[in-house]
Amino acid sequence: MGHADTLLAMGGAFVAAAVLARLGSRIGLPTIPLFILAGILLGPNTPGFVLLDDPHDLEMLSALGLVLLLFYLGLEFHMDDLKTGGKKMAIAGCFYLLLNVGAGLAFGFMMGWGTSEAFVFAGVLGISSSAIVTKILVDLGRIGNPETKPILGIIVVEDIFLAMYLAALQPIISGADDLAETAGQIGKAFAFLLVLALAARFGTKVIGKLFATKDNELLVISFLGAAVLVAGISEKFGVADAIGAFMVGLILGSTASGGRIRDLVHPLRDAFAAIFFFGFGLSIDPGDIGSVIVPVLIAVVITLAMNLTAGIVAARIYGFGPQPTANVGTTLLARGEFALILATMAATAGLDPRLSPFIASYVLILAVLAPLVAGRSHWVAKILPGGRRPDQEAERQPEEVSASR
């Protein structure tokens, strides 16, 4: 593709994503499914205008978007968040993972697409979208609600699990020949993660001095260079590039420059993440979705059931009533960026080609359904044990919010 064509494709991708996102904001939809939809509509697999014939032409930009997404997530993550939450937060988060990841793994084996594919299903069905969850909490004005603490606690536990899961998954889906080779690759990956974890634990002061500068331009160049470089090194050690970027974010987020880095990376994250989601949409053939729509709908029902069950357990742990229980279960429903990361990894590893349309359809449905269901959680509360009438619960909710503040 020529230089002019590349610029046209990039500019068109940004404009298309912006237009659909603006339209979606008017009806309260998150941006992620709209970016994917823009890629599907303007890709080579749908009739009409084709912006880009080969999705691989945006591969490097998409990879950068993925790196920045996980880098930002690392910046937002703090081990202190888990410590201050105490035992309740850890129990609620682990039980959520046990239910959802376990259900995803069982569903994967039930599908019979292969062992590697089953482990991908475990992550797809098991991990919530922190981006969409955060957006739902802000949009619905629930940041001060008492149930928001366990919701964020579950997200923190998921982030910890995410690092270990990706490190273990990489050698599994890359097709290691035997158990010894698989164990060796996992060991190498965990050793690399251990080095990064030790840097996060003991090297923050030294690293903070290296990145200390009042010049924003130098700071941007420095943290971008570190995130991309470590992401590349991670790949060499069998760890997904995204998780290497996550660890860099974790380290830099604890330095004195952490706050400024968060502010500076935010627009970069949004811009290149849009290209990542758009590029994923380009690779989806809507004609393939029909072949996976039945398992997708089954997976959506399973996710709904597991989230409500996890919400009930969290409510028991924290002593919540039906409405906060429904809020927990419905807010955590969305699946997004991490599922698409797994789709990219699966496609690169040459796994079953049905995984990409399955994951795209699953993410689209839940990314649209989650904010709609969360906004009407009082309906869900009615069917939970001890459920109240919506008007009674609505009267009680402001008191809970006020008390939490």
Quickly count: other Cβ atoms within 10 Å of residue 372's Cβ.
13
pLDDT value, residue 394: 45
pLDDT value, residue 100: 93
pLDDT exceeds 50 at position 405: no
pLDDT exceeds 50 at position 390: no
Domain 61-383 of CATH type 1.20.1530.20: yes
pLDDT band at 402 (very low <50, low <70, confident <90, very high): very low
Mean pLDDT of the chain: 81
pLDDT value, residue 16: 84
pLDDT exceeds 60 at position 79: no
Q: What is the dihedral of CA 335, 337, 341, 344, to 10 degrees?
A: 90
The pLDDT tens digits for 147-160 are 888 887 788 788 77
Question: Which of these, 332, 348, 383, 367, lies nearest to 150 by C-alpha position?
Answer: 332
Across the range 325-334, mean pLDDT stands at 88
Number of H helices, E strands in the chain: 19, 0
When comparing pLDDT for 193 and 265, which is higher?
265
Round to whole Å and give the CA distance between 257 and 320.
38
pLDDT exceeds 50 at position 114: yes
Q: Which two tokens stand for residue 355?
A: 């995984």
pLDDT band at 398 (very low <50, low <70, confident <90, very high): very low
pLDDT value, residue 401: 42
Sequential DSSP letters for 159-207: HHHHHHHHHHHHHHHTT-SSHHHHHHHHHHHHHHHHHHHHHHHH-HHHH
- What pTM value is reported for the model? 0.72
| Residue written as token pair 């989806």 | 284
Percent of the chain with pLDDT over 90: 15
Weakest mean pLDDT among 30-39, 48-57, 93-102, 166-175: 166-175
pLDDT value, residue 392: 47
pLDDT value, residue 370: 86
Round to whole Å and give the CA distance between 266 and 261.
8
pLDDT exceeds 70 at position 105: yes
pLDDT value, residue 174: 67
Q: Extract the runs of DSSP E, i.e. beta strands, from 189-242.
A: none
pLDDT exceeds 80 at position 403: no
